Amino acid sequence: MAEHTRRDFLKRTAMAGGAMALAPLGNAAAQDAPAQMCIARWKGPADAQGDVTTTMATKLTEQAVAAIGGMKRFVSQGDVVWVKPNIAWDRAPQFGANTNPDLVATLVRLCLEAGAKKVKVGDNPCNPAKKTYPNSGIEAAAKAAGAEVVYIDEKRFKDVAIKGQRLDKWLLYPEIIESDLVINCPIVKDHSIARATVCMKNYMGVAGGQRGLWHQNLALCLCDITAFMKPPMCVVDATRVMTDNGPTGGNLSDVKQLNTVAAGTDVVALEAFGAELLGLDPAKVKSAAAGQAAGLGTMDYRSLALKELEVA
């Protein structure tokens, strides 16, 4: 017992010391009461082509997460964390079909720094994972940041009781849902039926089987899976957004560069924010509206403790 106490004491001291050391570097926001949602917009320099850079995605992510309380608010010592980006499509990062790889890498690093024992990154993609993982840039970036990149095994899905409005049970990936924390980090994209896809649609990546059937009542199915996943926080990639021909795109004219990252604890608020980025009225995006009706959050993200940062 004595040893435990001593170890705890040492740990606390070290953490406090670390926090003090980091404090001057962090944004002032980090020292206030944490925000419920943060929108971080890049005001710094871009590269010669004006494209999204590693520094940009990294700083935006770091500061957005810091503003909602920092990763330590969500990750406990020894946790196993699953970072769930969108890695669905065999497209290079500039096409905006998958989550920005530097954003994913930053989340991995933040989790490890916050004490996570292991950080896994993976998705159940639409194109073959052997192509989407490397071509999205996410595999290399996540590995370099210290994550274990997991290829989904089609044969390891298990029927799980969801008990939702529309989904009673479904094949989900045990390794994901058994993680201590799942960080949903989608990219904002156009979609012909959902209109906009943000956090809620990204949860399709934890499901297997005939998940395409969900489109027959997409809003309610997404509510069900979101309610089941109970996201404590999500990070939305809007460095690039896909404005047309979603969710696959494939043409640079389908992509708009917004240089923005949002983090928050309210999944519906992030959904609504993403919809607005695509120029849509969030109330017309059925998943967001249904999410609010189901009590998963509020579309009125401005009513939350919102922090808007300009990052350089």
From residue 13 to residue 52, the character string flagging contacts with other proteins as x (rule: CB under 8 A) and all else as - is: ----------------------------------------
Interface segment toward other proteins; rule CB under 8 A; list 48-56, 112-120, 188-196, 260-268: 188-196
Find the binder of other proteins among 26, 34, 146, 250 (CB under 8 A): 250
Q: Whole-number minimum distance, CB 119 to other proteins, in Å?
A: 19
144 binds other proteins (CB under 8 A): no
Q: Whole-number minimum distance, CB 191 to other proteins, in Å?
A: 7
Q: Which of 291, 287, 86 is nearest to 193 (CA)?
A: 287
Q: Residue 95 to residues 89, 90, 136, 234: CA-CA distances in angstroms?
A: 10, 10, 9, 22
Burial 79-92 (b: 16+ CB within 10 A, else e): bbbbbbbbbbbbbe
Q: How many residues bind other proteins (CB under 8 A)?
A: 33
Q: Whole-number minimum distance, CB 218 to other proteins, in Å?
A: 7
Q: Whole-number minimum distance, CB 151 to other proteins, in Å?
A: 8
Find the binder of other proteins among 123, 224, 254, 266 (CB under 8 A): 254
Q: Whole-number minimum distance, CB 112 to other proteins, in Å?
A: 23
Burial 26-55 (b: 16+ CB within 10 A, else e): ebebbeeebbbbbbbbbeeeeeeeeebbee
77 binds other proteins (CB under 8 A): no
Q: CB-based contacts of 273: which residues, under 8 Å, 6+ apart? A: 37, 39, 198, 236, 262, 282, 301
Q: CB-based contacts of 86: which residues, under 8 Å, 6+ apart? A: 97, 98, 99, 123, 185, 186, 187, 189, 202, 205
Interface segment toward other proteins; rule CB under 8 A; list 29-37, 110-118, 243-251, 270-278: 243-251
Hey, is 264 helix, strand or coil? Answer: strand
Binding site for other proteins (CB under 8 A): 90-91, 126-128, 130-131, 133-135, 151, 153-156, 191-193, 210, 212-213, 215-218, 244-245, 247-251, 254
